[in-house]
Amino acid sequence: METNQTKRDVYIVDGTRTPFLKAKGKPGPFSASDLAINAGRELLGRQRFSPQDLHEVVIGCVMPSPDEANIARVIALRLGCGKSVPAFTVQRNCASGMQALDSAFKDIADGKHELVLAGGTEAMSRAPLLFNQGMVNWLAGLSSAKGLPAKLKQWATFRPGFLAPVISLLRGLNDPIVNLSMGQTAENLAYKFGITREEMDVYSLESHRRLAAAQDNHYFPELLPTYDYYGNCFEADDGVRRDSSLEKLAALKPIFDKKFGSVTAGNSSQVSDGAALLILASKDAVKKYKLPVIARIVDTEWAGVDPAEMGLGPVYSTTKLMQRCNLTREDIDYWEINEAFAAQVLACLSAWEDESYCKQFLGLNKAFGRIDPSRLNVEGGAVALGHPVGASGARIVLTLVQILKRKQANRGVATICIGGGQGGAMLIENVSEVIA
Amino acid sequence: MSKMQTYKHWRIESSVDEILWVYFDKQNASANTIDKEVMEEFSLIIDVLSGDKNHKGAIIASGKKNGFIAGADIAQFSKFKDIDEAVSLLREGQAIFSKLEALRMPVVAMIEGFCVGGGLELALACHYRVAEDGPKTRLGLPEVNLGVHPGWGGTVRLPRLIGAPEAMNLILSGHTVTGKVAAKLGFVDAAVPKRHLVTAAKYYVLQHPKRHEATLLQNLTNAKGVRTVLAQYFRHTLRKKVSPLHYPSRFDVVANWERFGVRGEEPFEKEARSCGKLFFSDTAENLVRIFYLQERLKGLAKDTQFSPQHIHVIGAGTMGGDIAAWCAFQGFQVTLQDREAKMLAPAIKRAYKLCKDKLKEPYLIQKVMDRLTPDVEGYGMSRADVIIEAIYEDLTAKQELFKKAESLAKPEAILATNTSSIPLDEINTVLKNPGRLVGIHFFNPVAKMQLVEVVQGSRTDPSVANKAISFVRKLDKLPLPVKSSPGFLVNRILMPYLLEAVHLLDQGIPMTAIDKAMLEFGMPMGPITLADTVGLDICLSVAKHLQQYFPGTEIPQKLVTLVEQGKLGRKTGEGFYRYKKDGTQIKPSNVDYAKPLQDISERLVTCMLNEAFACLHEGVVTDADLIDAGMIFGTGFAPFRGGPMHYAKTLGIKENVEVPAI
């Protein structure tokens, strides 16, 4: 199944993540780099190589704080990788974490690197409030006003409206090209594929149920306790609602298209903080350090779609990926489709089941087919877990790896939709040893 | 141009910008200290500067890599024949510095690294001072720590330069400050990063701007009437910390300043005379002796090559957590293991508090915190160079743990236990190589207590013990090598003293009287308060443990009762005393006690001395000096008395004596 004979195999050696912590309306306990440190310290601490042996650190992050310029480098140095290990940050919106894996994957496959730390992190709760343009101009005027009279004159031009902050998180979740919020693009998909409010809520309830069951079964070996400086440790994803019900979900009001819409806070992914990190290695590195391996990254693919239907990104990127690898739907044992919105996941499934859609837009000669719900997001998804945008792309790959292991399955696809109208997909193979 | 003479300890160079560079580079020494010969040469150099017409000014700098001047050479203290000789030497030094101050050409002290005691006094006599702004540069007048006070004009020039309150604060506390703080206080003209140090020094020589002067208000603090009022205040604050009987030098500084101020010749003369006299006081002799004891501990295992990078600590309780935090603070990579994440969280919190108290800059705090990794799974065990066990006192548990540690640890890693009671030879029986186990016994609170007992079992490999000693030095603590015997040294000697204090309480002597008696003796804390602070449950368990080995140990009923009632001392809000929420003691109403307090202190100290003699005979430590060092640095035993064994010697006690009755 080698897609390109000149490329080298790339293995996942290990991976960890922090619990995903729901944003509670104020800045959370961790910055994006703090989260990555909590996930990365133990990850690197339990390897047979030292952090200085890494060849690169690649981190996806959408909105690092002003103190975290090139956050990958900040994280590398804080993790003790030393001055000589280079690091760069990637930003591909909701797929930044997957882009980081892809960048590391390519450099290893091309023979440039042997050992790379890659993943994503996001502290959405700490997205800053910004001054609006009026305030910025007024402040600029004040600082250039010389002398008391000029300053007083400038003060006189102050208007209360200048104090209205720009909420960077909301701006970030708004598409500037089509001027739609991400939730509104989900409303578009619901309309296009006839997905009802009830279907969305049923799907969401199931996501919570699955996550709760996985927690009760003590799955998530990749999850590390995360410590703040004030005596608290966070050990579990806290977005899960065990007391949720269809009635409760039905009572929620639509938040993007008010009044007549159907996308609610309950059937959308949660705003969260979290980080997920993986160690990727070449065959040579695996041999050199006698590393255990948990999976192989076979291939990745990206696709562009209409920004107003950005939620269909997984359909396009995955279909392309499967075509290139000569695989059909039946060849894939488990699926992770990131749950940006319940409507968006359901729309992807509908598109694949729709023969005319598949023929017209995906270049298939028949419907891609129905993905068995029991093989999709089997431990819940971002609706229950949260969607720290920079981290999710790496998180779903790590989750998928663990599921393939637990189910002793062979192959899986992790795919994610991207604000701005893109999709990313990664094909993973369950391996336990490197075949010489 | 005058002929450049060569000197033993100094070097003069001329640079193209017409500046004379005077480098202090003491012969055959790693650090610059001032002694008679150094001063004589310096005097000649000042004469050269005074006659020089070809240069615009001079910069005094260190020729050493580490530091400017570490102060006067302490070894010469003991060489003075009598007070007169000491005073006349001080006068000579003062005269040389005054000659320096009177030079017409501008002289700048360029300070990098430590600049303390006589070194700072020299700098203060220069016209300008520039200091490097970095963590290694420290300035201060720590003479009071040796029972004397500055004697080369420091007590006069500093208050004159920056006003009395700040100057007295610095002199009376003996603290050192960074270049930045010194610049803020005004006794350094500029604190700059190393990259600008030479530029800054040259600037002051070439531009010679107006010299720093005290502000109007600061000048006022040195005025006659004001001095009387302020001196009252200084003495009042001092008395809260030290007694004039035990530590007279601080009070002499205040008295001289109050009477003679900071102008004219007289304050200098009084400074020299009072300092000369202090050299011959018991306090100074004992404090100098302690200085050497400290140097001795610092010099232990100096030749041992051991450079650990990673420390793994098992047990995140008070001791384990704080040990881990201290190791991270001192620059080590640390993993801290306990059974569950929630047991680690409080230790992380305490580590953060330590960092916040010690470091101001958030980025430095983050650096330390990033080095401390919570490690539930114990991954650090196989990477560590030192593994420190600090779990509960249970032989089987410790044995299990060390068996596992031995199988996982790197072969060259040392295995250490922080046990305070279990003999090493019982723990190490499970090891394939029992020689690997050593005790590294910290005291609570870890960040504050200087002493660490390095415990050797009969099978401990001496090279492992030396590695442990060298590691303790790298933690900036004082290692005390002790034999693994019950209670080791410090707890063993302390316990009879504490228990006897409680016995006295049982006999009806008020606890305030007992504590007061020992405070007056010179202990930093009364024994009853100390027991409350240590925790009565801890005291009881140590006492019970010692009782197994020393059947004569009687455990006072009062102690047992309080522990049963859950009154464990400061930590539970009540022990012998009661405590407010913030831990401050609620003063009990004063109970009259008519008999002399000295009877109490004599009795309690005798208990301690007898146990100390026993330790010496049993060879718990190799000599009496180490007992003194252990008790002073481990418990704060009245330093001006020179330690228990030295104190016994001054009393003429050489053997066990009967405990005097009250």
CB distance A230–B377 less than 8 Å?
no
Cβ–Cβ contact A233 with B under 8 A: yes
Specify the residue for token string 């002289």.
B107
Encoded tokens for B265: 């010749």
CA angle centred on B480, ends B478 and B482, rounded to 5°: 165
Residue B235 pLDDT more than 80? yes
Please report the pLDDT score of residue A435 as a whole number: 74
The overall average pLDDT reported for chain A is 96
Annotated catalytic residue within A61, A348, A358, A417: A417
User: Measured between alpha carbons, how far is A185 from A134 in angstroms, rounded to an integer?
Assistant: 30
Cβ-based contacts of A229 with chain B (< 8 Å):
348-349, 352, 369
Kindly report the backbone phi and psi dihedral angles of residue A227, in degrees, each rounded to the nearest multiple of 5, phi listed first: -110, 135
DSSP three-state, residue A155:
helix
Residue B656 pLDDT more than 90? no
Query: Per this entry, what is the length of chain A?
Result: 436
- Comparison of pLDDT for A169 and B325, the residue scoring more: B325
CB distance B380–A45 less than 8 Å?
yes
Q: Decide: residue B109, CB within 10 A, 0-12 exposed, 13-18 middle, 19+ buried.
A: buried
User: Is A417 designated active site?
Assistant: yes
Chain A residues 375-414 with CB within 8 Å of chain B: none
pLDDT tens digits for range B399-419:
999 999 999 999 999 999 999
* Nearest-CA distance A404 → chain B (Å): 24
* Count of other CB atoms within 10 angstroms of residue A6: 8
User: Measured between alpha carbons, how far is B598 from B585 in angstroms, rounded to an integer?
Assistant: 24
Give the pLDDT mean for B353-361.
93
Cβ–Cβ contact A6 with B under 8 A: no
Contact B382, B356 (CB under 8 A): no
At residue B614 the predicted structure's pLDDT band, cuts being 50, 70 and 90, is: very high
Residue B3 pLDDT more than 60? no
Cis link prior to B445 (omega < 30° from 0)?
A: yes
Please report the pLDDT score of residue B79 as a whole number: 85
At residue B654 the predicted structure's pLDDT band, cuts being 50, 70 and 90, is: confident
Cβ-based contacts of B335 with chain A (< 8 Å):
45
Contact B437, B460 (CB under 8 A): yes
Please report the pLDDT score of residue B421 as a whole number: 84
Please report the pLDDT score of residue A436 as a whole number: 65
Contact A151, A145 (CB under 8 A): yes
* Count of other CB atoms within 10 angstroms of residue A143: 10
Secondary structure of A57-77 in the HEC alphabet? EEEECCCCCCCCCCHHHHHHH
pLDDT tens digits for range B199-224:
999 999 999 999 999 999 999 999 99
DSSP three-state, residue A70:
coil
pLDDT tens digits for range B512-560:
999 999 999 999 999 999 999 989 998 998 899 899 888 888 899 999 9
Give the pLDDT mean for A7-32.
96
Secondary structure of B434-479 in the HEC alphabet? HHHEEEEEECCCCCCCCEEEEEECCCCCHHHHHHHHHHHHHCCCEE
Q: What percent of chain B has pLDDT over 90?
A: 90
Give the pLDDT mean for B422-428.
94
Chain A residues 279-298 with CB within 8 Å of chain B: none
Annotated catalytic residue within A61, A81, A94, A348: A94
Give the pLDDT mean for A167-181.
92
What are residue B13's DSSP bridge partners? B21
Q: Tell me the ipTM for this assembly.
A: 0.92
Encoded tokens for B338: 């306990």
Please report the pLDDT score of residue A5 as a whole number: 55
Give the pLDDT mean for B36-48.
96
Cβ–Cβ contact B309 with A under 8 A: no
Contact A132, A164 (CB under 8 A): yes
Residue B660 pLDDT more than 90? no
Residue B111 pLDDT more than 60? yes
Domains belonging to chain B, first-starting first, are 10-280 (3.90.226.10), 310-484 (3.40.50.720), 502-555+589-651 (1.10.1040.50)
Kindly report the backbone phi and psi dihedral angles of residue A417, in degrees, each rounded to the nearest multiple of 5, phi listed first: -90, 155
Please report the pLDDT score of residue B4 as a whole number: 63
* Nearest-CA distance A435 → chain B (Å): 28
Residue B661 pLDDT more than 80? no
Cβ–Cβ contact B349 with A under 8 A: yes
* DSSP string computed for A156-169: HT--GGGGPPEEHH
* DSSP string computed for B484-541: S-TTTTHHHHHHHHHHHHHHHHHTT--HHHHHHHHHHHT-SS-HHHHHHHH-HHHHHH
Please report the pLDDT score of residue B582 as a whole number: 87
Query: Per this entry, what is the length of chain B?
Result: 662
Instruction: Find, in chain B, the residue whose alpha carbon is nearest to that of A236.
Output: B341
Instruction: Find, in chain A, the residue whose alpha carbon is nearest to that of B373.
Output: A41
From start to end of B184-327, where are the E strands? 190-192, 310-314
**What does each C-alpha distance from A371 to A194, A211, A330, A345, B637 come to in angstroms?**
18, 19, 9, 11, 77
Cβ-based contacts of A233 with chain B (< 8 Å):
341-342, 344-345, 348, 374
Distance of CA A293 to the CA centre of its chain: 23
Contact B136, B177 (CB under 8 A): no
CB distance A227–B376 less than 8 Å?
no
Cβ-based contacts of B379 with chain A (< 8 Å):
42, 45-46
Contact A282, A11 (CB under 8 A): yes
Cβ-based contacts of A42 with chain B (< 8 Å):
373-375, 377, 379
Could you say which of B341, B366, B383 has the minimum Cβ distance to residue A225? B341
Cβ-based contacts of A230 with chain B (< 8 Å):
349, 352
The overall average pLDDT reported for chain B is 94
User: Is A81 designated active site?
Assistant: no
CB distance A229–B345 less than 8 Å?
no
Give the pLDDT mean for B143-171.
97
CA angle centred on B621, ends B618 and B626, rounded to 5°: 135
From start to end of A183-232, where are the E strands? 226-227
Q: Decide: residue A328, CB within 10 A, 0-12 exposed, 13-18 middle, 19+ buried.
A: exposed
- Comparison of pLDDT for B344 and B654, the residue scoring more: B344
pLDDT tens digits for range B430-461:
999 999 999 999 998 999 999 999 999 999 99
Could you say which of B345, B349, B373 has the minimum Cβ distance to residue A42? B373
Residue A30 pLDDT more than 80? yes
How many contacts does A have with B, using Cβ atoms within 8 A?
51
User: Measured between alpha carbons, how far is A379 from A384 in angstroms, rounded to an integer?
Assistant: 10
pLDDT tens digits for range A306-342:
999 999 999 999 999 999 999 999 999 999 999 999 9
Encoded tokens for B590: 């004063």
Give the pLDDT mean for B282-303.
95
Could you say which of B373, B376, B377 has the minimum Cβ distance to residue A41? B373
Residue A434 pLDDT more than 90? no
Residue B657 pLDDT more than 80? no
What are the b/e assignments for B327-348, b being 16+ CB within 10 Å?
bbbeebbbbbbbeebbbbbbbb
* Count of other CB atoms within 10 angstroms of residue B537: 18
User: Measured between alpha carbons, how far is B378 from B338 in angstroms, rounded to an integer?
Assistant: 8
- Residue A319, amino acid: T
Encoded tokens for A205: 């309830």
Residue A177 pLDDT more than 50? yes
